[in-house]
């Protein structure tokens, strides 16, 4: 901070030593402009001096009888620049500093003065801030930064034997373009509210920290902060919407500080950023919304089914990390039966994949690592579609792929009905047809016209299980049955009579072909 004040003091030194400029407005957001403006302001200020006379040997001016500013109570208002002589006394000067403002000053001693002078610097409570000693022909700079809510009058007490010139100016801070200091010593609700963007500020002396509040969307996203400084050492802290400490970093001239946090859905709101230390700083705040599954935000949290964003079949991108540990999606599946296939892959991190049915029952799961994708699949029987759920957990960016292949039992473009569902049995018109079974789809039942034939053969086309055939007559009475244990084995049977009949196929993880002959 004292380095920052040095910039301002340079302008004061130039003026106090004889420079002159026209006064200009103070653009407090630009330090170089502030330094120039400070110098101009002081140069244009009135010169207020206690009347003095010089001794014949030209050693030191004597104090005039009307010099009354010899105490805090009678301190003379410093209006820009003034010259005075002091001997065997102490002169007091004061200047009003805005709340959370910065005061800078220079004291120059005339080179013809016989000795050095001492200056003491005090705050509004008349408490000591700093002091210095300065000899003939020398210039001393002094300054201080106040943190809100402090400010008010400051005092210089000058003593010794010399003719001197004192110049001073007080400016408002403009932390993050707020028009003042960003307070940090009070409650969180006093923090200065700012938006995402790039800002500058300063801390040091009595202003040890700046605290800002940022309103973040509650749809989820990445909250990033960059803090840099050309001089000084700074620390950065962030706090969530419940004022819990979250992240920290340190910044110096050699290395900036960066924090980045993935914030899950519903966890936005008012977050806080605190800068501590000493120095000028540049602060950059950014929030990048998530777009999990093209949802425009973060997917729902752990088993929050009612909030899960609905996605379509296809490929989707998402990201997990920090406090965002789960993404839950909903997908609407046809109720005609089919195979749901879900794959998950990541280039970094470790992730878990789970699926839940339309009644929110757990169905399948898998775990993956980098470049080691996982695939889960499930055969859904007739009427078991509806709204299913896919949950990804862990940490890392990922690609989620969802596919659904409708069943086509007996070329019907759907699944055949289940166990002894005679009224829903799928009618067949061809003597040869195929079907598939797996998972919850354990049975397919067909209605066969007697005219198609009475000899039935079953062949397992693929899969790991056997297939059983059970015949029911037109009155739904049990008839013959047969088993096929795999692709290398066929099962045949004959149906008695001439009426229509039912064929019920039972199995698991298999595709089959039925052939009917006279």
Per-residue pLDDT tens over the stretch 473-483? 999 999 999 98
| Average pLDDT rounded to a whole number, residues 66-72 | 83
- Is the backbone peptide bond immediately before 149 cis, with ω within 30 degrees of 0? yes
Per-residue pLDDT tens for 241-299?
999 999 999 999 999 999 999 999 999 999 999 999 999 999 999 999 999 999 999 99
The pLDDT of residue 186? 65
Which letter does DSSP use for residue 450 in this model? G
Residue 449 has pLDDT above 60, yes or no: yes
CA 476, 507, 361: angle at the middle one, nearest 5? Answer: 100
Domain at 292-406: CATH architecture: Sandwich (2.60)
Query: Among positive and negative, which fits the CA dihedral 252, 255, 256, 258?
Result: negative
- The share of the chain scoring above pLDDT 70, in percent, equals 86
Q: Global pTM?
A: 0.73
Domain at 412-517: CATH architecture: Sandwich (2.60)
Closest among 108, 62, 99 to 81, alpha carbons compared: 108
What is the chain's Cα-based Rg? 42
What's phi and psi for 306, nearest 5 deg? -70, -20
CB 86 within 8 A of CB 117: yes
Q: How far apart are CA 171 and CA 177, in angstroms?
A: 14
One of 3.40.50.2300, 2.60.120.380, 3.90.1260.10, 3.40.50.720 is the CATH number of 2-171, namely 2.60.120.380
If you write DSSP's letter for every residue of 379-431 in order, what string do you get? EE-TT--EEEEEEEEEEEEEEEEEEEEE--GGGSSSPPB-TT-GGGPEEE-SS
Quick check: do 292-406 and 412-517 share a fold? yes
Which letter does DSSP use for residue 305 in this model? G
The CATH number that domain 175-289 falls under is 2.60.120.380
Per-residue pLDDT tens for 126-137?
999 999 999 999
Domain residues of the chain, as ranges? 2-171, 175-289, 292-406, 412-517
């Amino acid at each position: 901070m004292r380095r920052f004040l040095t910039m301002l003091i340079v302008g004061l030194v130039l003026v106090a030593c004889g420079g002159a400029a026209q006064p200009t407005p103070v653009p407090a957001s630009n330090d170089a402009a502030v330094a120039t403006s400070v110098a101009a302001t002081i140069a244009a200020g009135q010169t207020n001096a206690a009347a003095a006379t010089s001794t014949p040997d030209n050693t030191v001016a004597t104090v005039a009888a009307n010099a009354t500013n010899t105490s805090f109570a009678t301190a003379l208002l410093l209006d820009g620049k003034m010259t005075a002589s002091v001997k065997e006394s102490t002169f007091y000067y004061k200047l009003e500093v805005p709340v959370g403002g910065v005061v800078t000053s220079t004291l120059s001693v005339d080179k013809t003065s016989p000795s050095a002078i001492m200056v003491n610097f005090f705050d509004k409570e008349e408490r000591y801030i700093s002091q210095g000693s300065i000899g003939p022909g020398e210039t001393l700079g002094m300054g201080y930064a106040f943190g809100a809510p402090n400010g008010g009058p400051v005092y210089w007490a000058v003593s010794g034997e010399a003719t001197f010139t004192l110049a001073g100016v007080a400016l408002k801070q403009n932390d993050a373009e707020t028009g003042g200091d960003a307070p940090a010593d009070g409650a969180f609700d006093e923090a200065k509210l700012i938006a995402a963007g790039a800002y500058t500020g300063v801390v040091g002396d009595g202003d040890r920290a700046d605290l800002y509040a940022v309103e973040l969307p509650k749809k989820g996203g990445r909250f990033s902060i960059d803090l840099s400084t050309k001089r000084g050492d700074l620390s950065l802290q962030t706090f969530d919407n419940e004022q819990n400490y979250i992240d920290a970093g340190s910044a110096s001239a050699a290395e900036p500080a960066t924090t980045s946090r993935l914030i899950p859905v519903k966890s936005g709101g008012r977050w806080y950023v605190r800068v501590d230390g000493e120095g000028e700083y540049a602060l950059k705040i950014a929030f990048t919304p998530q777009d999990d599954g093209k949802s425009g935000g973060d997917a729902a949290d752990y088993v929050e089914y009612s909030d899960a964003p609905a996605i379509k079949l296809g490929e989707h991108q998402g990201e997990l990390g920090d406090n965002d540990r789960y993404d839950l999606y909903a997908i609407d599946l046809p109720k005609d039966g089919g195979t749901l296939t879900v794959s998950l892959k990541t280039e970094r991190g470790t992730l878990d994949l789970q699926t839940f049915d339309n009644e929110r029952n757990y169905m399948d799961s898998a775990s993956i690592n980098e470049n080691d994708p996982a695939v889960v699949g499930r055969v859904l029987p007739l009427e078991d579609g509806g709204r299913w759920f896919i949950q990804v957990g862990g940490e890392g960016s990922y690609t989620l792929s969802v596919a659904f292949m409708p069943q086509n039992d007996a070329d019907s473009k759907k699944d055949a009905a289940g166990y002894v569902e005679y009224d829903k049995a799928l009618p067949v018109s061809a003597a040869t047809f195929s079907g598939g079974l797996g998972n919850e789809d354990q049975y397919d039942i067909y209605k066969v016209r007697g005219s198609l034939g009475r000899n039935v053969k079953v062949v397992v086309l693929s899969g790991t299980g056997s297939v059983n055939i059970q015949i029911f007559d037109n009155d739904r009475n049990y008839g013959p049955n047969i088993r096929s244990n795999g692709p290398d084995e066929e099962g045949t049977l004959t149906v008695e009579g001439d009426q229509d009949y039912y064929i019920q196929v039972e199995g698991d993880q298999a595709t089959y072909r039925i052939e009917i002959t006279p």
